Chains A and B, each alone.
Chain A
Amino acid sequence: MQDFLEFRTISKGYPGVQALSNVSFSVRKGAVHGLMGENGAGKSTLIRVLSGDQSADTGEILIDGAQQHYRSVRDAFHAGVIVIHQELQLVPELTVAENLWLGRFPGKAGVIDRQQLTGVVSKKLAEIGIDVDPSVKVASLSIGERQMVEIAKAVMLDARVIALDEPTSSLSSRESEILFSLIDRLRANGTVILYVSHRLDEIFRLCDSLTVLRDGKLAAHHPDISKVTRDQIISEMVGREIANIWGWRERSLGQERLRVENISGAKLRHPISFSVRRGEILGFFGLIGAGRSEMARLVYGADARNGGTVSVDGVTITADSPPHSIRSGIVLCPEDRKFDGIVQGRSIEENMTISSRRHFSPFGIINPKKEGALADKFIAKLRVRTPSRRQDIINLSGGNQQKVILGRWLSEEGVKVLMIDEPTRGIDVGAKSEIYEILYELAADGMAIVVISSELPEVMGIADRIMVMCEGRIAADIPRAEFDERRILAAALPDVQNANTLSHAQVR
């Protein structure tokens, strides 16, 4: 059969990152094509380019032999390309039928023809075998049903290419099965499905062909999935040269510093326990959504705990709120610097001393000399590149902003446990190794450090030990001597078989 969807030498760069370089592959008509890769491999960027949300720097997309020039999501719609994201795009307060017609309601002079509205929809839903009442509000549907409606919307728009981004991430196993049979029917109708998933079992269950991306490049293209093995795909996902930009060196580890026991919360229902020693850098690896950040936020007291204890140097910390954690010596550099880290519109100095200024402010009156001196000290120590401490933090590069956040905690003094979530996301290579050096120095001074990262090479490069998380649980605890990319990645990938037994157990 002929190629229906073709990517030709697609490249796309963002400031500091080449997200895609020269990616070319094609998909046959009526095929379900899998797209795999680690976090940051370029899958989302490719999907965005396909959806018209962003345009590629170079390269072109062909559909049925015709070159596409669309510049917006709307143009992509007209070309028959529809991307279904993890966050669904339905209006909860409207009915299923209304959602499916949204933007082009049938009727005359602004009066909606209700008969046509539901009539056409019920016919269409029956045709593709979706069992949902078109007259109920979307708000009353389950996530799985909403996903079906989203797909029905694509079918209503006569989509020729449907891309699904991690569609089963929030579905139960039964809902997933219903989704799979729907995908099978669409395939039979000749629709091209691009299926992005981390779950190898699903890929093998559904896909006819597969593309693996790595570091923005095409790592492998398999026109026939029956000729590849699970292990082969994993090595294609990770198979990179590891350059030694990490600068890790042996450190002597002291006594246990942080101990977390059976901690759990609303977003992390299975209790988690671990401990970190003085001078140790513990890496947390997992796919996005594995629960690493949620774990750190619970330890820090940023989110309410359901249970569990945190102790530092053998002393249990009773309260769970950021101010208490800071006073007990536990701090967190959050994952999303822009939304949870920096205070935009305020100076480097204020951002740095936001917590520590209480130490030199008798009766709450700040001593500006001491504040300035402290800020200057850490600007110099952490090599923050800025003309002045009064500079608005928004003007700094990502790496320098991260250093200011580090300075915020180092100026506290008495920090015993530093948790840092995605320490170098969006940071250029030079600043990256500076930040690693800072972490090594702090560890050498006896701090216990928890590094959370979605980048496997980074965790393997700088951690003394790695905890792998998968779907809210700790899947593996691996010392540095036994680091092995495949083993770590295999532990991080969810297994549908396990998930099934678990969700059944929960039902009972």
Chain B
Amino acid sequence: MTSLKKLLLGEQGLVVIFALAFLVVSLTVPNFLTERNMLGLLQSVVTIGIVACTMMFCLASRDFDLSVGSTVAFSGMVAVMASNATGSILLGLVAALICGGLVGTVNGVVIARFRINALITTLATMQIVRGLALIASDGRAVGINDPSFYQLALSRFLGIPTPIWVMALFFVAFGFLLNRTVFGKNTLAIGGNPEASRLAGVDVARMRIWIFALQGLVCAVAGVLLASRITSGQPNAATGLELSVISACVLGGVSLAGGRAAMTGVIVGVLIMGIAENVMNLLNIQAFYQYVVRGLILLMAVLLDNLRSSAAGRRA
């Protein structure tokens, strides 16, 4: 193998490719490498980035969650409606977290205890929860009464908007959770071989419920930030989010067969998605083409991953 090939197909291959792509784009696309554009880029990936943290756990344990987009919209909706009704933003946040956590727990219990396929279960809850959001709002956007709700998304710390800080915090926390805790290692183990993990004393069913519950809670956080940014609860917000998030994770090298995941990979995956969109916007490429490009990027990443694992197989 040549050294270039080795670099591209090695452990950090994706990071190398990302760095190269970033360099090329910075040099060729005007207005890309400006503070304003960078912050805008990061802000555009906040929802995907936050939800990808727990989606990574979900995929790493061989599960799947299609209901995240609906849960984000629903919990954002709940946050706005509850804070409007009670006059307290805090109560709104708590209500959103409870609802998000509840959706996740229901997913987890149905999947782990009743042994229903995760794809089917979350396909069902995705529609149920979207329906609940529409019913609660009668299909219309619900405006935020208290302007300080906007501050969640608008406020800045050290010049950087709060949502970006939240996303960064989540990246660090979930990276730690994955690599340094029993929870993270058990997640990877049950994804690698669920039956062996069960026989080794891991309570697989309980782990899966926790992972889904966590996913619901994190969706609620993303939902609140999104509602604050768009200044209303939108029942149709975040449609198709599940696919973007799963794409980002797969781009980042998370194996759909479970057992393999890395936070750095997921971060890179999220940024690649963001950069592709951002660059196409800067170059005034019509939005319709963006779908095609995003799909192509995903396909290429998966092909690369395939090459990488067969290269690893040959080495072994």
Contact = CB atoms under 8 A, between A and B. Distances in A.
A312 to B, nearest CB: 16
B126 interface: no
A340 B186 CA distance: 15
B202 interface: yes
A339 B316 contact: no
Contacts of A350: 185, 188-189
A368 B180 contact: yes
A394 interface: yes
Contacts of A394: 316
A357 B192 contact: no
Given A350-B185, A350-B188, A395 B201 contact: no
Interface stretch (A68-76, A202-210, A341-349, A464-472): A341-349
Contact of B181 (A326, A341, A364): A364
Contacts of B146: none
Interface of B: 180-183, 185-186, 188-189, 192-193, 195-203, 255, 259-260, 316
Contacts, number: 77
Interface in A310-342: 321-323, 325-326, 332, 334, 339-342
Given A322-B201, A323-B203, A354-B189, A343 B316 contact: no
Contacts of B189: 343, 346, 350, 354
B259 A340 contact: no
A340 B201 contact: no
Contacts of A365: 180-182
A344 B193 contact: yes
B196 A340 contact: yes
A366 B193 contact: no
17 contacts: A322-B199, A322-B200, A325-B201, A334-B196, A341-B196, A343-B192, A343-B196, A344-B259, A346-B188, A350-B188, A354-B197, A354-B201, A355-B201, A361-B182, A364-B183, A365-B181, A366-B181
A321 B200 CA distance: 11
Nearest to A325: B201
Contacts of A408: 200
A196 B181 CA distance: 52
Nearest to B259: A345
A358 B316 contact: no
A394 B315 CA distance: 12
Given A339-B193, A350-B185, 15 more contacts: A302-B199, A322-B199, A322-B201, A334-B196, A334-B199, A339-B195, A340-B195, A343-B193, A346-B192, A354-B186, A358-B182, A364-B183, A366-B182, A394-B316, A408-B200
Interface residues of A, number: 31
Interface string A392-409: 101100000000000010
Given A302-B198, A323-B201, A334-B199, A346 B182 contact: no
Contacts of B203: 321, 323
Interface in A123-181: none
A357 B186 CA distance: 10
Nearest to B255: A345
B200 A355 contact: yes
A345 B256 CA distance: 13
Nearest to A358: B182
Nearest to A324: B201
A417 to B, nearest CB: 14
A334 B197 CA distance: 12
A319 to B, nearest CB: 12
A268 to B, nearest CB: 17
Report the 4 A-B pairs with minimum CB-CB distance, sorted nearest first. Answer: A343-B192, A355-B201, A345-B259, A343-B193
Contacts of A339: 193, 195-196
A343 B259 CA distance: 8
Contacts of B260: 345
B199 A340 contact: yes
A46 to B, nearest CB: 31
A342 B193 contact: yes
Contacts of B192: 343-346
A261 B255 CA distance: 44
A392 B200 contact: no
Contacts of A395: 316
Contact of B185 (A325, A326, A354): A354
Contacts of A334: 196, 199
Contact of A366 (B180, B195, B196, B197): B180
Contacts of A354: 185-186, 189, 197, 200-202
Contacts of A358: 182
A322 B199 CA distance: 6
Contacts of A366: 180-182, 185
Contacts of A326: 201
A146 B200 CA distance: 38
A346 B201 CA distance: 17
Contacts of A361: 181-182
Contacts of A343: 189, 192-193, 196-197, 200, 259
A334 B198 CA distance: 11
Contacts of A355: 200-202
A346 B193 CA distance: 10
A411 B29 CA distance: 56
B19 to A, nearest CB: 25
Name, among A323, A325, A346, A394, the residue most crowded by chain B CB atoms within 10 Å (CB to CB). Answer: A346
A186 to B, nearest CB: 41
A314 to B, nearest CB: 23
